[in-house]
Amino acid sequence: MSLSFELDDEFIQQFVGKQPAWGPIGYVTYKRTYARDLDKIWERHAALGARAGLVSNEEFWLTLVRVVEGTFSILQDHCRTLHIPWDIARAREMAQEMFRLMWDFKFTPPGRGLWTMGSPVVERIGGACLNNCGFLSTENIATDFSAPFCALMDFSMLGVGIGFDVRGAETVTLTYPVIAMNDVHVVEDTREGWIALLRRVLDAYVGRATLPGTVDYSRVREAGAPIKGFGGTASGPGPLMELYEGLRVLLDACVARGGLVTTSVIVDIANMTGKCVVSGNVRRSAEIALASRPTRCSWS
């Protein structure tokens, strides 16, 4: 997502240096969670902030400029792609109305939208990071056992709360995995790297992969290191190591009981995956299991 829409400077200047009518803890919460560092936003927005004397991160007026311009840039690009007429005068009028409504707290975007909309994060990883919630089904795990759990981990690492069902229960039978003793699985220091290890261990128990003899976590940044893109600090490799070993114990026990993947096994895999995920230690994710019979759910 590139910026193809801009608010008028004259309009923006009405809000520079001012604050909205915050509640008792509103400003503190905003600065802690939603104000992006100036080096993590588009050059245009960083320049606006610098001209206004900002030195580290956004103030609310600049966040709203980012959110509005990001939203209308997507809308403008959408209209151009589909050859829908684009009325720039009307768009500017609507954009200004959107800004004022947010400034007056008549509405706000979802928290993740306030944090990421109009930032380079959306261009790099797509629109999933803008969503508060999502839903995944396990109905087809007999076809691809690892897919819904890997998707759950992916969305959770972006801060998206995920609901899931247990429709795939009793459609898959696990077996003890083959262990490739000379294979070293190196975990890359990315979301994709963590997900790859989860996919491998789950696929190994349905015969689609092997387990490595050794897992190398040395490339995962240490706990407390900054997460440059999404924000916050890293949790270190500990939670992933716990997930890997915990899944081995869980799935081995399932095989020992005959291998049938029950509702409880599905929920346990999802809960263990959710527990592993710490989205920058700032924006936490939520998880809920939906079933027609009693089960367990957790918040991660």
Each of the 300 residues of the chain gets a pLDDT tens digit; together they read 578 999 999 999 999 999 999 999 999 999 998 999 999 999 999 999 999 999 999 999 999 999 999 999 999 999 999 999 999 999 999 999 999 999 999 999 988 899 999 999 898 888 888 888 899 999 999 999 999 999 999 998 888 889 999 999 999 999 999 999 999 999 999 989 999 999 999 999 999 999 999 999 999 988 878 776 556 677 889 999 999 999 999 999 999 999 999 999 999 999 999 989 864 444 466 889 987 654 454 444
- DSSP H or E stretch at residue 186: strand 179-186
Q: Which two tokens stand for residue 70?
A: 């990001």
Residue at 249: amino acid letter: V
| Nearest-5° Cα angle at 252, 246 to 254 | 105
Q: Which two tokens stand for residue 188?
A: 């890359």
Look at the pTM and tell me if it is higher than 0.85.
no
Nearest to 196 by CA among 204, 205, 188: 188
The domain locations on the chain are: 9-130, 133-290
